[in-house]
Amino acid sequence: MELTIIGHWGGFPKKGEASSGYLLTHNGFHLLIDCGSAVLSKLQTIISAERLDGMILSHYHADHTADIGVVQHALYVGKFTNQYDRTLPIYGHMLDLERFNQLSYKDVTAGIAYKPEEILHIGPFRISFLQTHHSVPCFAMRIETDGKALVYTGDTSYFKELEDFARGADVLLCESNFYKGMDGSAAGHMTSEEVGMTAHQAGVDKLILTHLPHFGDLSRLKDEAAEQFTGEILMASEGLKIII
């Protein structure tokens, strides 16, 4: 499977870029993971919205969902102009019914609830979930196909169960919103040191730092994570492609 970083900023997008959005592709199936601010604009440099086969959401904060409405309108225009004849499934949890109900729009998108205690199959992907420690209900995802595994943390502060959930993954796509020495627990985010420790304890092959902060020297995040994890570490950046 191929992972492409669409957006990687936490909270809001940096000028000309996007907040959380990740495109996962396998055997021609395109799954968008989260859909934050400016994700649609950036996605269209790779594929059109009409080519998406599914979308899945970790939680409903705006930096992960802000562009759902414009995706819905883009597909609606596609139907109006006879360029789109499908209904895009958008998978989300039901712990916020108001936001979940907004995933369905006319006949262009349909909200589908995932049950965190059950395995979800979307196209070629097998997805399991773990509720994270965040200010609103949020779920990490372990996405597997053909013997490979990607773990995406969503938003979370550090907790040990995440290490078990990510055990042996080929890639850990992990939020890193704070620097070493800071306390991210109240905000529901991880420090670079905690990210490195999680990757080390989980025994993952590769670590990608994402949900990046708008303050400080970002190169520190990688250096501080590397104090705990000796494997390959990458900083998420727009257009970065990883073959898993």
pLDDT tens digits along 11-33: 999 999 999 999 999 999 999 99
Q: Beta strands 21-26 and 2-7: pairing type?
A: antiparallel
Q: Is 117 exposed, middle or buried (0-12, 13-18, 19+ CB in 10 A)?
A: exposed
How large is the average pLDDT for residues 193-208? 99
Q: Model confidence over 34-71: pLDDT tens digits? A: 999 999 999 999 999 999 999 999 999 999 999 999 99
pLDDT for position 161: 98
Residue 174: which of 238, 113, 222 has the closest Cα?
A: 222
Q: In order of start, what are the domains of the chain with their CATH numbers?
A: 2-243 (3.60.15.10)
For residue 159, with 0-12 CB atoms within 10 Å meaning exposed, 13-18 middle and 19 or more buried, which class applies? middle
**CA-derived radius of gyration, the chain:** 17
Per-residue model confidence as pLDDT tens digits over 87-145:
999 999 999 999 999 999 999 999 999 999 999 999 999 999 999 999 999 999 999 99
Phi, psi of 171, rounded to the nearest 5 degrees: -135, 135
**pLDDT for position 53:** 99
- pLDDT band for position 211 (50/70/90)? very high
pTM of the model: 0.98
Work out the mean pLDDT of the chain and round it to a whole number. Answer: 98
